[in-house]
Amino acid sequence: MTEKLTFDGLKQQVAGGEIDTVLVCLVDMQGRLMGKRFVAQHFIDGAYEETHCCDYLLATDLEMATPDGYASTSWEAGYGDYVMKPDLDTLRPVPWLEGTVMVLCDVLDHHTHEPVSHSPRQVLKRQIERLTELGFEAAMATELEFFIFAKSLDELRREGYRDLDPISGYNEDYHILQTTKEEHVMRPIRNHLYAAGVPVENSKGEAEAGQEELNIKYDAPLNCADHHTIAKHAIKEIAWQQGHSATFLPKWHHDRVGSSSHIHQSLWKDSKPAFYDENGDWGMSEVMRQYMAGLLKYAPDTTVFLAPYVNSYKRFQKGTFAPTGVVWSIDNRTAGFRLCGDGTKAVRVECRIGGSDINPYLAMAAQLAAGIAGIEEKLELQDSLKGDAYQSQKAKQIPGNLRDAMVALKKSKMLRKAFGDDVVDHYVRCAEWEQEEFDRVVTDYEIARGFEKA
């Protein structure tokens, strides 16, 4: 893996003509990279200190619309500026783009230079601070599942995303022959990301035609979220460079398996695994039991951050490995929360609810907030589920649609305490807008079903 790129190292590469472009990026509400391409010399001459962007970037949707109802910015307020403050610790090469490096930015108020509270990186940073106050550090990892399609993004868009044809013709779960046919896409993804300082472990075929999974080594939460975001961006760009398209839409067809993003999490204290107790059941410490109890109790509150769009909820179907019940189980992929590494120092919890469309900063922050609440409230962990969680009559169900999840978020006292009212209200409005936009559209399904028969 490439050594960390320092600012002095960047100066040397610019002077030597190796680097001419710096991508200066923030992470928006949807988890995408937004920003500017700087002439490298101008960046090292002064732009490394700060640059500016329109404040609508943290109050927009996937289509870059300008919805009303946000307290942070609006047409009435004139859509002013935010400060983009480069975090030079995130400097890294972008090997799949010639002569280019990248840096991620924190978002600051233009007038006070204080962090913008609803900025995804800041939302996660606040929960890390709360965890530190309790004496803990977290280690987290996210899995990225996605589909690769035969045609390019531009071709599919011009065709209205109809007759979508995955890059392969059959289920390729762990399949070496089929994934060999996709190595012209996956090999550069693995190697370029590794060279960019993203600790990729492996890729594998997933449980559907054209579906891949990328696994990245666990890390501190902020690093994990940065790695996830950069990897997702790189996958789309590298697939495009190879004439294909990659999508992180959780459910692109009702007859196809959806794509998830499982979140593995554990706590550490004094460099020792705080989730492990050799005398505890399955190696679980009391801290782990309380943390997991918090995840379960507050699963409805956090669902918007694990399933942020209308389409997100189409994944939650029985028999698809996408969970529907708020239960935990031991090494059982039908449960919403799976105990992994039981009986070892690697014991951890995997949240299986999140889809491939998560913003990792927000999803991880919500998980940490729920876990912290479990510790603070000293919650008791319910018994583990045995057998098929889809068939359980006792399992509480996760919200089945965005509207219900939005109501749970709006009413969440836990997240209002953890995130602040302003942040919760901001993301409630984000969810409201997604629902409003969907509600006004007449779908192909409605026309085909009712045009003649209604």
Strands 337-340 and 328-330, bridge-based pairing: parallel
Q: What is the largest CA-CA distance in the chain?
A: 70
Structure tokens at 33: 């990279």
pLDDT of residue 115: 96
pLDDT of residue 398: 87
pLDDT of residue 321: 64
State pTM to two decimals. Answer: 0.95
Residues 398/316, Cβ–Cβ less than 8 Å: yes
So what's the architecture of 127-445 in CATH? 2-Layer Sandwich (3.30)
Judged against a pLDDT cut of 70, whether residue 393 lies above it is answered with no
Residues 267-292 have pLDDT tens digits of 999 999 999 999 999 999 999 999 99
**Measured between alpha carbons, how far is 140 from 294 in angstroms, rounded to an integer?**
17
Bridge partners of 272, per DSSP, are 269
- Binned at pLDDT 50, 70 and 90, residue 388 comes out as low
- The CATH code belonging to domain 7-116 is 3.10.20.70
Spatial CA neighbour of 72 closest among 426, 308, 430, 432: 426
Give ranges for CATH 3.10.20.70 in the chain. Answer: 7-116
Residues 50-100 have pLDDT tens digits of 999 999 999 999 999 999 999 988 787 778 899 999 999 999 999 999 999
pLDDT of residue 386: 77
**Measured between alpha carbons, how far is 274 from 291 in angstroms, rounded to an integer?**
11
- Annotate the chain with three-state secondary structure: CCCCCCHHHHHHHHHCCCCCEEEEEEECCCCCEEEEEEEHHHHHHHHCCCEEEEHHHHCCCCCCCCCCCCCCCCCCCCCCEEEEEECHHHCEECCCCCCEEEEEEEEEECCCCCECCCCHHHHHHHHHHHHHHCCCEEEEEEEEEEEEECCCHHHHHHCCCCCCCECCCCECCCCHHHHHCCHHHHHHHHHHHHHCCCCEEEEEECCCECEEEEEECCECHHHHHHHHHHHHHHHHHHHHHCCCEEECCCCCCCCCCCCECCEEEEEEECCEECCECCCCHHHECHHHHHHHHHHHHCHHHHHHHHCCCCHHHHHCCCCCCCCCEECEEECCCCCCEEEECCCCCCCEEEECCCECCCCHHHHHHHHHHHHHHHHHCCCCCCCCCCCCHHHCCCCEECCCCHHHHHHHHHCCHHHHHHHCHHHHHHHHHHHHHHHHHHHCCCCHHHHHHHCCCC
Judged against a pLDDT cut of 70, whether residue 454 lies above it is answered with yes
Give ranges for CATH 3.30.590.10 in the chain. Answer: 127-445
pLDDT of residue 435: 96
